[in-house]
Amino acid sequence: MYIEAINLSKKYGNFYAIKNLNLKAEGGKCLGLLGPNGAGKTTTLKLFTNLLRPTSGEVIINGYSVQKDVKNALKDVGTLIETPNFYPYLTPIEILSMMCDIRGASRKNIKNALKETKLYQWRHAKVGKFSKGMKQRLAMAVALVTNPSILILDEPTSGMDPQGMAEIRNIIKNLKKDGKLIFMSSHLLPEITEVCDEVAMIDKGKLILHTSIERVSSMFISHSVIVELLEEVDNIDDLKEIKYVKDIIKINPYKLRIEFSGNAKEQYEILSSIIAKGYKVISYKNETLALEKAYLKLIGGDKNE
Amino acid sequence: MNDLAQLSIISKYQFKNYIRSKRLLTLVLITVGIGIAYILSIHFYVNTSYMDVKMFAKNWVSPLSYLVALASLFFGGDAIAGEYQNKTGYFLLPNPIKRESVLWGKYFASFLASTLVILIYWTFVILNVYYYYNTLPVSIWYSFGLSFLFLLSLLALTYLFSSLLNNGTVAIVIVSILYFLVLPVVDSMSMFIGYPPWFSINHSASILTLVFQGNYIGDYPTKQVINLGPGFNITIFNPSLSESITVMIGYFVVSAILATIIFHYKEMK
């Protein structure tokens, strides 16, 4: 079970939406495609699902070229691209039945898919009256209903309320546990860190990084912590003497930003020293998410920092 | 799953869409309305004993080409373009199904829905002709068959524009302009310049009523020059039966091939 982009390019006039993308994901895992708006995430997923045709290169799914043999390539792939619209006069049950019929799959999973996406009580309502969030839930149900081994999901939580987003993320996590291969795009960093095992970062149509979430975090570990104290601090010179501390900035009388050298061990030793000096620490955490920092560094978004 | 089975599934849901959206009902009501209006007009204003059966049937058949055009627009205009305009293509197209199965499945449903409407009209025609004359001329069966060939070709032309464009409304408007304005103007111009508009599907569709003329099928002049004054002639062209059939088949084949190729390569941007 694998998906692969080989030298994939998509050009509009003189503009490359995707340029020479080489990317492979294999086995039960979740690969997150991360990038800012306009980076080429949706274009990539559309090329994977035959909605767009590549200028050069090809997409291979389980050994079949999407461009040359779409029926075999997509036969075990569930898709959610953008927020699809549905035929307004059909009900969710009919929409899911249509999907099962087209794919030659059994309809036995329809009830589960509707329950999992919290649409069961709306199963007989006309889809034309659905909100964007409900359509997104139905789109997720469509991707799940035939129980495919591979799922290609384009910003699956788009247009949903926080509760809905959490529910969809839980569904994806459960799918991962079931050994499915999930290829999802998102511009939400916490979503990628929470759900995915690997991240592929793209910007301006080019792949700039593809590695595991753990590795990317260690590659770009943050070297500053924010310390919150119970009592006001007048003099920070005392704290500057602590080993590994490079600089301290007083954000306010109760909040400090400490820059240090080293890694997690040194970070722990600094905390121990602060407490040993009698400071009452109520919070001690990395200034920003490591992945966010890495992401901004890679796409050049940290220039103003 | 084989292509034919997928094609029939697309047809089934497309037809269901025509029923649920009340498109089919609307066109059936329009057809029944036209039929009733004709029956009442004939009953109150026409003395059928002074009218030949073929002339009577011809009058009944004359609005049929407009009904075929309306059915093509109703059921085919946004069939493909609507998938792009309404974003339903994001649901339907990223699936293990060939675009050809989607297009022909939809075409088949459109043809079926249009056939239903046209058959309702023909029921009015046949029953009313038989009611007044106790006989049905052979020409009526020619016209009957040719009306479905015309539907086949005009629907294919409509699907061509629907595949070409991303907006269903624009596709409907363009086919309407082409059928109700451009081609009639071309037909009129041909009368002045004296060049036969053999390539016009409107011109070919006139065979639906021409078969009722004369003593046998084809008993009418294909070219008639009329002098309307000094230096002012107009030429009336009538297509022969074989010419009409050839042009309609030509429209169907060319439009169907082009629509299939265009939709096969069309992107969902």
Buried (b) or exposed (e) across A150-174, using 16+ Cβ within 10 A? bbbbbbbbbbbeeebbebbbebbee
Eight-class DSSP state of B180: I
Q: So what's the pLDDT on residue A41?
A: 93
Residues in a beta bridge with A56: A9
Rounded average pLDDT over B145-158: 96
Whose structure tokens read 């408007």? B173
- Is the CB of B10 less than 8 angstroms away from the CB of A139? no
B252 burial type by CB count under 10 A (0-12 exposed, 13-18 middle, 19+ buried):
buried
- Rounded Cα distance, A47 and A18, in Å: 10
pLDDT score for A235: 84
The C-alpha of B18 sits at a distance from chain A's nearest C-alpha, in angstroms, of 9
For β-strands A281-286 and A15-26, DSSP reports them as unpaired
Q: What DSSP line would sit under A211-240, residue for residue?
A: EEHHHHHHHT---EEEEEESS--S--HHHH
Percent of chain B at pLDDT > 90 equals: 82
A297 or B152, greater pLDDT:
B152
Domains of chain A from N-terminus onward = 2-218 (3.40.50.300), 223-287 (3.30.70.100)
Could you tell me the pLDDT band of residue B49, with boundaries at 50, 70 and 90?
confident
pLDDT value at residue B227: 86
Q: Do A102 and B9 touch (CB under 8 A)?
A: yes
Backbone angles phi, psi at B43, to 5 degrees: -60, -40
**ipTM for the complex shown:** 0.86
Q: Which residues of chain A have pLDDT under 50?
A: 303-305
Q: State the average pLDDT for chain B.
A: 93
Q: What is the reported pLDDT for A303?
A: 46
The mean pLDDT value for B32-59 works out to 92
DSSP β-bridge partners for residue B236: B224
Alpha carbons A8 and A18: distance in angstroms, whole number? 7
> Which residue type sits at A55?
T
Q: At what angle do helices B64-76 and B99-133 cross, to 10 degrees?
A: 150
Q: CA of B62: how far to CAs of B38, B56, B66, B69, B156, in Å?
A: 11, 10, 8, 13, 22
* Closest residue to A102, CB basis, from B6, B16, B20: B6
**Contact between chains at B87 and A52 (C-beta distance less than 8 A):** no
User: Min CA distance, A89 vs chain B (Å)?
Assistant: 6
- Tokens representing A106 are 């059994």
- Mean pLDDT value across residues B168-187: 91
Going from the C-alpha of B168 to that of each of A94, B27, B183, the distances in angstroms are 24, 18, 21
Which residue, among B186, B229, B89, B168, has the nearest Cα to A139 in the 3D structure?
Answer: B89
pLDDT tens digits, B104-145: 999 999 999 999 999 999 999 999 999 999 999 999 999 999
User: Nearest chain B Cα to A96, which residue?
Assistant: B91
Q: Determine contact: A239 vs chain B, CB below 8 A.
A: no
The alpha-helical segments, DSSP class H, found in chain B are 3-20, 23-45, 53-61, 64-76, 81-85, 89-92, 99-133, 138-164, 168-177, 183-193, 201-205, 207-210, 241-265
Q: Is A147 on the interface with B (CB under 8 A)?
A: no
Quick: pLDDT tens for B62-86.
999 999 999 999 999 999 999 999 9
- Residue B153's SS3 state is helix
Task: Give residues with Cβ within 8 angstroms of A37, minimum separation 6.
Answer: A187
**List of chain B residues whose C-beta atoms are within 8 Å of the C-beta of residue A79:** 94-95
A102 touches chain B (CB under 8 A): yes
Give me A200's structure tokens: 């592929």
Tell whether B230 is within 8 A of chain A (Cβ). Answer: no
- Closest residue of chain A to B7, computed from CA coordinates: A102
Q: Which amino acid is at A140?
A: M
Query: How large a percentage of chain B has pLDDT more than 70?
Result: 100
